[in-house]
């Protein structure tokens, strides 16, 4: 059985997009991260030091995304997964990135799943 630590509705402001006007302003993205993590040790010992620090993951994600500029959310998603694997001892990530203002009448985005 897989344990999942999730961080949903993480809103970040970043420069993202292919159009010239998108290179000049920050836009909102909404990220949902589902992180496979073995919760058995922290649960058995009731020990925070054994748990995944989801606050650190959220803070790192926000800082990483806000400090960079990409044309495609696909590129942002791929790069973010790579650095999260390097920074945290996680096994798998399911990352959803929504670009809420991309279309007037719909919410669009991507979902990627990566394993170590």
Q: Which residues are catalytic?
A: 99
Pick the CATH number of 4-115 from 3.20.20.60, 3.40.630.30, 3.40.190.10, 3.30.1130.10: 3.30.1130.10
CA angle 25, 57, 44 (to 5 degrees): 160
pLDDT tens string for the chain (116 positions)?
Answer: 589 999 999 999 999 999 888 889 999 999 999 999 999 999 899 998 999 999 999 999 999 999 999 999 999 999 999 999 999 999 999 999 999 988 889 989 999 999 98
DSSP state of 47: -
Would you say 29 and 3 are in contact if contact means Cβ atoms under 8 Å apart?
Answer: no
3-state helix, strand, coil in the chain (%, to 5): 35, 40, 25
CA atoms of 115 and 25, how far apart (whole Å): 33
């Amino acid at each position: 059985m897989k344990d999942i630590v999730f961080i949903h509705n993480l809103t970040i402001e970043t420069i993202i997009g292919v159009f010239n006007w998108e290179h000049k302003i920050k836009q909102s993205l909404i990220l949902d991260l589902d992180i496979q993590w073995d919760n058995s040790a922290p649960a058995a010992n009731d020990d925070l030091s054994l748990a995944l620090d989801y606050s650190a993951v959220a803070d790192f994600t926000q800082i990483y995304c806000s400090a960079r500029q990409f044309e495609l959310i696909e590129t942002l998603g791929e790069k973010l997964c790579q650095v999260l694997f390097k920074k945290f001892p996680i096994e798998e990530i399911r990352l959803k990135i929504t670009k809420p203002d991309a279309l007037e009448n719909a919410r669009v985005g991507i979902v990627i799943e990566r394993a170590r």
